[in-house]
């Protein structure tokens, strides 16, 4: 989404211009669906999350504060939170620490996704320990699927700076997470976001 258009888009959303919501959807739905799907591993559930996220943004448009970031980043935050809430609704932890899957969750690979989510908790903790500039680069590249050039534009820094921050972040993550992080990053030999 073009930065110059963001303030105008917010004003149109707050004025209840349905075309503004349609334009936002057209510009962001592919990336938003990808984010929800990566968290949920289920297309139908990801579509449900998208529907509630866009509806929630529309219903609370008057609360959008441009100074806190773009509409797109706000939307991605909403999608992320709603997807995580959907996962938590399907999974609960017993007092002994064991994980129980909601019996209603019969989606394929539910057990495998639970194991992945446990590991994802460790990754989230490691990401939180990174300096803010490095964490933003990793989140934009790997979780929003942006290329280095797109990250550089979003962060208003040179592409070389983005690459340096990414390298430092990945080195730090490898130190914290050990061999699993090296394997995961070794699988991603292409530029982040390039497979889109």
Amino acid 4: pLDDT: 44
| Mean pLDDT (whole number) for 65-90 | 83
In whole angstroms, give the CA distance from residue 23 to residue 15.
14
| CA dist 83 → 44, 116, 127, 170, 188 (Å) | 12, 15, 19, 25, 24
Say whether pLDDT at 195 is over 90.
Answer: no
Q: Given this model, what pLDDT does residue 65 score?
A: 81
Instruction: Give the residue, 100 or 60, on which the prediction is more confident.
Output: 60
Question: Which pLDDT belongs to residue 98?
Answer: 52
For position 19, what pLDDT does the model report? Answer: 92
Mean pLDDT of 107-122: 52
Name beta bridge partners: 11: none
Evaluate if residue 72 carries a pLDDT over 80. Answer: yes
Of 128, 38, 30, nearest to 87 (Cα)? 38
Contact 20, 57 (CB under 8 A): no
Token output for 67: 């100074």
Q: Looking at the predicted structure, is the pLDDT value of residue 48 above 80? A: yes
Q: Considering the chain, what is the average pLDDT of its residues?
A: 76
pLDDT for position 159: 92
Taking residues 171-190, report their average pLDDT: 56
Strand partners, 100: 92
Q: Which domains does the chain have, with CATH numbers?
A: 1-96 (1.10.1740.10), 113-196 (1.10.10.10)
């Amino acid at each position: 989404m073009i930065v110059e258009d963001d303030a105008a888009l917010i004003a149109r959303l707050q004025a209840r211009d349905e075309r503004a919501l349609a334009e936002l959807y057209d510009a962001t739905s592919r990336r938003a669906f990808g984010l929800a799907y990566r968290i949920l591993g289920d297309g139908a559930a990801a579509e449900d999350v998208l529907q509630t996220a866009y509806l929630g943004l529309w219903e609370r448009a008057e609360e959008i504060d441009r100074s806190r970031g773009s509409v797109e980043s706000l939307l991605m935050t909403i999608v992320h939170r709603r997807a995580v809430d959907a996962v938590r609704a399907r999974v609960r932890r017993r007092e002994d620490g064991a994980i129980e899957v909601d019996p209603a969750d019969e989606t394929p690979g539910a057990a495998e996704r639970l194991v992945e989510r446990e590991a994802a908790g460790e990754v989230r903790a490691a990401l939180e320990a990174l300096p803010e500039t490095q964490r933003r680069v990793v989140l934009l590249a790997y979780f929003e699927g942006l290329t280095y050039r797109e990250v550089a534009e979003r962060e208003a820094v040179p592409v070389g700076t983005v690459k340096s921050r990414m390298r430092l972040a990945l080195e730090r993550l490898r130190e914290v997470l050990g061999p699993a992080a090296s394997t995961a990053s070794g699988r991603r030999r292409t530029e982040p976001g390039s497979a889109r």
